Amino acid sequence: MRKRLKKATLLIFAICLLSSFSSVSAAVMRSSDYMQSYSAYLTSKGGQVSVYATVTGRNNYYPKIGTSTILIYESTNNGKTFSYYGIYESEDYPSMMGSGGRYSQVAISFPGTRGNQYKATVYCYAEDNTSSEEIAYYTSAITA
């Protein structure tokens, strides 16, 4: 009986702990003044790696909405360590920035090395006539 009570208590504690994490992350997402939601992920086809980003604004129109900067990291040892690979800025890559209430497209593509892993830090961005906001989003790693 004592073991069952201990297991039940641990299960309840784990559920409470996990639900507190999800409510904290939801609160972080809602704390943005400019962005209702933002995300990014990497895909690979034939060694070509693409960064896909989605930024949804809180308002219907922003003169600039998208990604301002993308930092790429590469691993040559099965994801054990990652090294800086390159930086992409919206000033140099117009596909990284748009206008309107939502940005959802491939921001950049680059030739990866087959077998190597890549991940990115994507800076999601929204700007109106008075100010702007930039939030970092960290992607999972993929293999080229």
SS3 assignment for the chain: CHHHHHHHHHHHHHHHHHHHHHHHHHHHHHCCCCEEEEEEEEEEECCEEEEEEEEEECCCCEEEEEEEEEEEEEECCCCCCCEEEEEEECCCCHHHEEEECEEEEEEEEEECCCCCEEEEEEEEEEECCCCEEEEEEECCCEEC
Residue range 80-99, pLDDT digits in tens: 999 999 999 999 999 999 99
Task: List the chain domain ranges.
Answer: 1-31, 33-143
Confidence grade of residue 13 (pLDDT, cut at 50, 70, 90): very low
When mean pLDDT is compared across 8-12, 96-100, 114-118, 128-132, the lowest value belongs to: 8-12
Other CB atoms closer than 10 Å to residue 106's CB: what's the count?
Answer: 12
Report how far apart the first and last C-alpha atoms of the chain are (Å, whole number).
52
The band of 10, judged by pLDDT with boundaries at 50, 70 and 90, is very low
Query: What contacts 87, CB < 8 A, 6 or more positions away?
Result: 69, 70, 71, 72
**Domain topology for 33-143:** Immunoglobulin-like (2.60.40)
